[in-house]
Chains A and B, each alone.
Chain A
Amino acid sequence: MLSKLREFQYLRPRSLDEAEELIQQFGPDARILAGGTDLLVRMKERGLRARVVVDLKAIPGLAGIHAEPDGSLRIGALTTLGDIERSSHIRAHFPLLWQGASCVGSVQVRNRATVGGNLCNASPAADTAPPLLALGGEAILRGERGERRLLLEKFFTGPGRTAMGQEILVGISIPPNGAGSSLYLKHSPRRAMDIAIVSVAVRLDVDSQTGVCGKASIVLGAVAPVPLRARAAEQTLEGQRLTAQRLEDAARAAQEAAQPIGDLRGTAAYRREMVWVLTRRALVEASGAGEGSTFFQG
């Protein structure tokens, strides 16, 4: 049940050091605030009581999209999904991330919500998670002992849980995307303001000469306690020529990897079926085996 926000202490550090100190000082009583689109909803619900809220938005340098000369990308944790959506560089060079970010909520939500918040909230259905995992993204974390990097694949440990200690996510770094082709598909009854029943991000490096698939990434959303990398499915494709049969086999393997639960948005059985449908569809489109332009439901 939503109720009125209860009183809390609001702190607005001006530097990362100051923020880190506050987090050490207040421990689990402190909640980090970015866009607040998850945090404030949870604070109005009865579950989450925050005594101290540490707002990161006054810290300089935490927002921004930086294209590095080597083709890699660094995104500040406080970058809004709206800024990602409006970035022509991301749209052109990291379309998978662009697709994930632009299908979150609504324009208003995206203008508030940050990519860091989307990851740290650790919902298995977070729309930027499968794309960022598939792109091989790394979390840049800042803690007492300085900065460390953690592959996003290792970042999520359960629904609402991450491998972060008393740390702040400062940014995400993504290796060069090369010529990989990719697609993010989100299945939700509504075309806006809706959480995925099932989502899937695929990314394939297919040699245009030989038709052989190099690295393949298949990441599933909303069908496991964490955004789930379907390794067996990826292996079905790697080093192989991509025939229709192979793509189907990979989709079956992804389906087997899924461990969905049933909830208001769909039964476990339906989710399992949808993993197969969406993975196959995404692979077909991304590998160029499908007809027409890429299908993207936002």
Chain B
Amino acid sequence: MADNQKAVGVSVPRIEAREKVLGRSVYVDDLRREGMIWGKVVRSPHPRARIVHVDVTEARGLPGVVAVLTAADVPGDRYVGPLVKDQPILCSSSVRFEGDAVALVAATAEEVAETARDAVRVEYEILEPVLDPIAAMSPEAPQVQAGGNVASYSKLRRGDVEVGFRAADVIVEDSFSTQMIDHAYLEPEGAVAEVDAEGKVTIWVCSQYPHYDRQEVARVLGVSLARVRVIQTTTGGGFGGKFGSPLVSCYAALLAARTGRPAKVLYTREESLRTTVKRHPYRIHYKVGATRSGKLTAVEARFVGDTGAYLVVGRAVVGKSTSHGAGPYEVPHVKMDGYAVYTNKAPAGAMRGYGVPQVAVAYESLLDELARKLNLDPIEFRLKNVLREGSQTATGQTLLHSVGVAETLERAADARREMTPHLKTGKPYLKRGIGVGVSWHGIGAARSPSQATAYVNLCGDGSATVLCGSVDIGQGSNTLFSQIAAEELGVPLDQISVVTGDTLTTPDCEATTATRVTYLSGNAVRLAAEKAKGTALELAAKHFGCLPEHLILARGKVQVPDAALEISLTDLFKKHAVQQISALGVFSPDCTPLDPETGQGSPHATYGFGTHVALVEVDQETGAVRLVDYAAFNDVGKAINPQAVEGQIEGAVAMGTGYALSEGMIFDRGKILNPSFATYLLLTAADLPPVRVGLVEAPEPTGPYGAKGVGEPSMNPVAAAVINAIYDAVGVRIRELPAVPETVFAALKTRQPLPADR
């Protein structure tokens, strides 16, 4: 911004805040098109079955019904998926989970579509479902997918764990299991599709990755990418669930292409809970060793991620657990074996944290156990082992910069000290305890190449438009892009227009996932703006006969500060017959892929870190756990919009506490029993204390203004901190999430002698 105003590092309000608050933002559900039809999906009631016969006669005959489609009606490819194409748009021969799609109906009114959906008769031969992921790994188990139930295997080998455990004075070992949870965004999945007179298809969809939706829609319709345009509507949350799940777009597109009428498909909450991607439930076994002086010597782990009926991104999720499974610690000997396994359940996919929250619960629990055995304070113990500048990670990557984890721990120690006076409760059955969780998260997907692209068009009046493919799903990236462009171009924020979420006008920037938008796309925007400014300054340098380095651009004018001279961009552009300056920014992080045999490499250019401190109260007689106080310290490199970062962290604490204490899909023989927010228990405002957020800024030299990211790193340590706090309060180790009252009650019943009363 101009003069001494800055745009970066300032908590500016969201660009779209006013529209949202006034209820003017347009969500998929708000869209109505002339002649629009409603689509509904016919879904399997069985987790595993052979489709014997589909009878659509009755449904087709209902007044108002305009289409009933089965797999045979799909004009192009019938399978989708971001890594492997294993998920049928509509199943033709077998169904693999309760909710798998079998047919698609459309009618002129939603009620009629519902009736038609229920009138499609499907005859199934019911088969015994594969439900337990461990049993599924046996070669004798029935096959969920033709290639076998073990979908992926990722390894990490560093040093020799035998040697490491021999060097250890204390070894702890335990098993954990985590549950399947849903993203539970406010807005369920939905899309509207329309075909124009030339046969081009436009989709409006709430999405984390419109360009991917475009790929899948084009494949499914059998048309070229250029004939499909995907426009992202205001998106009410994503958290990973609105990436890699292009089905809703494909359904709307299929119906529009088939009938020539605009078509809307909007999932109900129940459909969203039952059928869209989930967080992988994990079975985990860990063994950790340390010396008497408190140095970690070895970590060995094996975990199985239940990826459900389709892979989606299961291989990458489990891979992230493998590369992050030793935590943000220096460990000389590490062995990790991670498996993604198919079962007959709703597919698991990407969800905030991507395989790290699961393993963080396990290793952070065991670090607390080790600290206790070693008689060391949990924070002191971790400080002896955390990564610092110059440390090598378990993948053998040397971290040269921006390793703020020790500082997050030091600040956590202060927070814990402030919480300590609040350990008293005044009721004998209520016990309080404090727990700490530490975690890390590599920024961006663990692969190369990965790239972000942005255009900046600088206009004669100094204002600019930014075009970028990374979409804002509620986390605030459009505002961030405007801050970055404003900072570079020296204009107030209202002089920047940000265009995202339209495949026709924006470059494919990959998905809004993997905590990558600030770092990758933020860099691309910054580079494009810098280049546009550079071009303007070069023109001006010619004009003034000086070096561009001596010039500054502010509020649409190029100034020579020393000589108190200036020229407006308008005049400058006129002089050189320039209409606007367009610049392309491309950023690719510096990573090397992991070796498939050893898991060694530099999968991420940089990492976000965090230490969280939870104060919980446990009712020893009922098992109920309440979060009383919470402090979160995250190293974000640089907070470009501090309030937005705080918002991310507060949201992560709510989400992570729900993961620890209350959320979970409950199954009975492969069928989900709680596909409703009345029984799938998200925590409410009444259950959560205010979160004290502490930002640590260890600048990342390759990040925009030093920034890294915060979306996932803030989520990863939450459940670990809460579970450790429960132990501190009542001396029971919860190994099975969620710690609902009955689970804690059962653990309390088997508790060894009570810890000394506080």
Q: How far is the CA of A194 from the CA of B626 in the complex (A)?
A: 15
B400 part of interface (Cβ distance < 8 Å): no
B111 and A189 contacting across the interface, CB-CB below 8 Å: no
Q: Name the one of B429, B666, B678, B741 contacting A189, with C-beta atoms under 8 angstroms.
A: B741
What is the distance, in angstroms, from A187's C-beta to the closest C-beta of chain B? 6
A1 part of interface (Cβ distance < 8 Å): yes
A90 part of interface (Cβ distance < 8 Å): no
A277 and B622 contacting across the interface, CB-CB below 8 Å: yes
A86 part of interface (Cβ distance < 8 Å): no
In the complex, what residues of A have CB within 8 A of residue B429's CB?
A: 281
CB within 8 Å of B: which A1-25 residues: 1-4, 6
B742 and A191 contacting across the interface, CB-CB below 8 Å: no
Task: Please choose the segment from B483-491, B561-569, B682-690 that sits at the chain A interface, where 4 or more of its residues have CB less than 8 A away.
Answer: B682-690
A192 and B686 contacting across the interface, CB-CB below 8 Å: yes
A273 part of interface (Cβ distance < 8 Å): yes
Given contacts A190-B687, A191-B684, A264-B679, contact A274 B270 (CB under 8 A): no
A194 and B114 contacting across the interface, CB-CB below 8 Å: no
What is the distance, in angstroms, from A3's C-beta to the closest C-beta of chain B? 5
B427 part of interface (Cβ distance < 8 Å): yes
Q: How far is the CA of A197 from the CA of B619 in the complex (A)?
A: 15
Q: How does the 8 Å CB contact mask read for A6-48 relative to B, with 1 for contact and 0 for none?
A: 1000000000000000000000000000000000000000000
A270 part of interface (Cβ distance < 8 Å): yes
Please give me the residue from chain B that is nearest to A269 by CB atom: B742
Q: What's the dominant secondary structure at chain A's contact region?
A: loop
A191 and B270 contacting across the interface, CB-CB below 8 Å: no
B111 and A190 contacting across the interface, CB-CB below 8 Å: no
A191 and B686 contacting across the interface, CB-CB below 8 Å: yes
In the complex, what residues of B have CB within 8 A of residue A197's CB?
A: 741
Q: How does the 8 Å CB contact mask read for A187-207 relative to B, with 1 for contact and 0 for none?
A: 101111111010000000000
What is the distance, in angstroms, from B273's C-beta to the closest C-beta of chain A? 11
What is the distance, in angstroms, from B630's C-beta to the closest C-beta of chain A? 16
Q: Name the one of A2, A266, A291 contacting B742, with C-beta atoms under 8 angstroms.
A: A266
Please give me the residue from chain A that is nearest to B675 by CB atom: A1
Q: How far is the CA of A265 from the CA of B662 in the complex (A)?
A: 11
Q: How far is the CA of A23 from the CA of B687 in the complex (A)?
A: 42
Please give me the residue from chain A that is nearest to B741 by CB atom: A189
B662 and A189 contacting across the interface, CB-CB below 8 Å: yes
A190 and B268 contacting across the interface, CB-CB below 8 Å: no
In the complex, what residues of B have CB within 8 A of residue A277's CB?
A: 621-622
Q: How far is the CA of A197 from the CA of B676 in the complex (A)?
A: 17
A292 part of interface (Cβ distance < 8 Å): yes
A2 and B268 contacting across the interface, CB-CB below 8 Å: yes
A296 part of interface (Cβ distance < 8 Å): no
What is the distance, in angstroms, from A208's C-beta to the closest C-beta of chain B? 25
Q: How far is the CA of A191 from the CA of B662 in the complex (A)?
A: 12
A193 and B741 contacting across the interface, CB-CB below 8 Å: no
B383 part of interface (Cβ distance < 8 Å): no
B71 part of interface (Cβ distance < 8 Å): no
CB within 8 Å of B: which A252-270 residues: 264-267, 270
A189 and B740 contacting across the interface, CB-CB below 8 Å: yes
Q: Name the one of A3, A187, A189, A266 contacting B681, with C-beta atoms under 8 angstroms.
A: A189
Q: How far is the CA of A277 from the CA of B622 in the complex (A)?
A: 7
What is the distance, in angstroms, from A212's C-beta to the closest C-beta of chain B? 27
B745 and A270 contacting across the interface, CB-CB below 8 Å: yes
A192 and B687 contacting across the interface, CB-CB below 8 Å: yes
Q: How far is the CA of A291 from the CA of B426 in the complex (A)?
A: 8
B673 part of interface (Cβ distance < 8 Å): yes
CB within 8 Å of B: which A53-74 residues: none
B426 and A190 contacting across the interface, CB-CB below 8 Å: no
CB within 8 Å of A: which B656-709 residues: 661-662, 666, 673-674, 676, 678-679, 681, 683-687
Interface residue count for B (Cβ, 8 Å)?
31
B401 part of interface (Cβ distance < 8 Å): no
B110 part of interface (Cβ distance < 8 Å): yes
What is the distance, in angstroms, from A53's C-beta to the closest C-beta of chain B? 17
What is the distance, in angstroms, from B114's C-beta to the closest C-beta of chain A? 5
Q: How far is the CA of A189 from the CA of B742 in the complex (A)?
A: 9
B662 and A264 contacting across the interface, CB-CB below 8 Å: no
Given contacts A4-B114, A264-B674, A266-B742, contact A193 B621 (CB under 8 A): no
Q: How far is the CA of A28 from the CA of B678 in the complex (A)?
A: 28
CB within 8 Å of A: which B403-452 residues: 426-427, 429
Q: How does the 8 Å CB contact mask read for B618-649 relative to A, with 1 for contact and 0 for none?
A: 00011010100000000000000000000000
Q: How does the 8 Å CB contact mask read for A176-196 relative to B, with 1 for contact and 0 for none?
A: 000000000001011111110
Given contacts A187-B624, A190-B681, A277-B621, contact A264 B666 (CB under 8 A): yes
Q: How far is the CA of A281 from the CA of B620 in the complex (A)?
A: 12
CB within 8 Å of B: which A148-191 residues: 187, 189-191
**Residue in A106, A264, A267 with the greatest tally of chain B CB atoms within 10 Å:** A264
In the complex, what residues of B have CB within 8 A of residue A195's CB?
A: 678
In the complex, what residues of B have CB within 8 A of residue A106's CB?
A: 684
Please give me the residue from chain B that is nearest to A7 by CB atom: B111
In the complex, what residues of B have CB within 8 A of residue A265's CB?
A: 679
B426 and A292 contacting across the interface, CB-CB below 8 Å: yes
B269 part of interface (Cβ distance < 8 Å): yes
In the complex, what residues of B have CB within 8 A of residue A295's CB?
A: 427
A274 and B683 contacting across the interface, CB-CB below 8 Å: no
A193 and B684 contacting across the interface, CB-CB below 8 Å: yes
In the complex, what residues of B have CB within 8 A of residue A2's CB?
A: 268-270, 676
Q: How far is the CA of A290 from the CA of B220 in the complex (A)?
A: 68
In the complex, what residues of A have CB within 8 A of residue B686's CB?
A: 190-192
What is the distance, in angstroms, from A197's C-beta to the closest C-beta of chain B? 7
Please give me the residue from chain B that is nearest to A46 by CB atom: B118
In the complex, what residues of B have CB within 8 A of residue A1's CB?
A: 268, 270
Given contacts A1-B270, A192-B684, A264-B674, contact A187 B114 (CB under 8 A): no
In the complex, what residues of B have CB within 8 A of residue A273's CB?
A: 745
What is the distance, in angstroms, from B734's C-beta to the closest C-beta of chain A? 14
Q: Name the one of A4, A187, A192 contacting B741, with C-beta atoms under 8 angstroms.
A: A187
In the complex, what residues of B have CB within 8 A of residue A266's CB?
A: 741-742
Please give me the residue from chain B that is nearest to A292 by CB atom: B426
Q: How far is the CA of A3 from the CA of B621 in the complex (A)?
A: 40
Q: How does the 8 Å CB contact mask read for B732-758 relative to A, with 1 for contact and 0 for none?
A: 000000001110010000000000000
In the complex, what residues of A have CB within 8 A of residue B426's CB?
A: 291-292
Q: How far is the CA of A274 from the CA of B622 in the complex (A)?
A: 7
A4 and B269 contacting across the interface, CB-CB below 8 Å: no
Q: How far is the CA of A195 from the CA of B431 in the complex (A)?
A: 24
Please give me the residue from chain A that is nearest to B112 by CB atom: A4
Q: Which 6 A-B pairs have the closest CB atoms?
A: A192-B686, A191-B686, A277-B621, A192-B684, A270-B742, A4-B111
Known contacts A189-B662, A189-B740, A278-B622; can you find 7 more A-B pairs with CB under 8 A?
A2-B270, A6-B111, A106-B684, A190-B684, A192-B685, A197-B741, A265-B679
* B residues with CB within 8 A of A: 110-111, 114, 268-270, 426-427, 429, 621-622, 624, 626, 661-662, 666, 673-674, 676, 678-679, 681, 683-687, 740-742, 745
Query: What are 10 A-to-B residue pairs whose CB atoms are below 8 Å?
Result: A1-B268, A3-B111, A187-B624, A187-B741, A194-B681, A197-B741, A264-B679, A291-B427, A292-B427, A295-B427
